[in-house]
Structure 1
Amino acid sequence: MTIETQHHRKLIELIKYPIITDKTTKNIEENIYYFAVDKKANKNNIKEAIEYIFNVKVNKINTLSQPKKIKKVGKFKGYISQYKKAIIKLDNKYTINLFEES
């Protein structure tokens, strides 16, 4: 494998999945998208990954680390896994199609 393909594979692995809730779907109209990303990713890596994967231009990125949450089921207690959230504002000319047209 060449160095370039390894770099592209790492970029693809940085972005885990889009976060889709009522609030995030309303923000899609304003060209703001939410993604769960790798905990070790920084803003430059996230920007490079989004621009490579979706072929768009990113204007602004905000990131925040979600805290671990306690989940109780009966007498058992566990934790919901922690992840980093990236809030991405795209340039007005670009959009990302997260939902398939049927």
Structure 2
Amino acid sequence: MIKFPLSTEKSIRLMEAQNKLIFVVERQMKKPEIKEELEKLLSVKIDKVNTLVDKKGNKKAYVTFSADNPAIDVATKLGLM
């Protein structure tokens, strides 16, 4: 389950420079599951998903969108911008 998109200075910088958004997800989710759920939820094509678990135990998914779907447009749709 996707919990929420992360809106921090780093996430905004990644969105503008590398066409990425950061989402906090359930810890047991795997990369293909994250990609599939976000593609259904947002109706966009995703190129790549990288994950990490921080010190607090939260799992973050760094999602790279295809060039056809700028991350800024997706963030606007989600209400982050």
The reply on whether 1:64 has 2:63 as its aligned counterpart is no
Supply the AA of the counterpart residue of 1:99.
Answer: G
Aligned length: 75
The reply on whether 1:51 has 2:31 as its aligned counterpart is no
CA distance in 2, matches of 1:28, 1:22: 10
4+ runs of 1 displaced by more than 4 Å? Answer: none
The reply on whether 1:99 has 2:79 as its aligned counterpart is yes
CA distance in 1, matches of 2:28, 2:45: 22
Q: Structure 1 vs Structure 2: percent identity of aligned residues?
A: 33
User: Which digits, 9 at most, give the CA deviation of each residue in 1:25-51, with x for residues without a partner?
Assistant: 111123100000000000010000110
Supply the AA of the counterpart residue of 1:20.
Answer: S
Supply the AA of the counterpart residue of 1:90.
Answer: F
**Unaligned ranges ≥5, structure 1:** 1-13, 69-81
Alpha-carbon RMSD: 1.5
Q: Larger % of helix: which?
A: 2
Contact 2:20 2:62 in 1 (8 A): yes
TM-score by length of 1: 0.68
Larger Rg: 1
* Shift in alpha-carbon separation, 1:49–1:22, aligned structure 2, 3 A: same
Supply the AA of the counterpart residue of 1:89.
Answer: T
Aligned-residue offset at 1:100: 6.3
Aligned-residue offset at 1:53: 0.3
Q: Which has the higher contact order (CA 8 A, sep 6+)?
A: 2
Indicate the residue corresponding to 1:15 in structure 2.
2
Aligned-residue offset at 1:18: 0.6
SS at match of 1:93: coil
Within a 5 Å distance, the mapping from 1:71-90 to structure 2 comes to 82-90=57-65
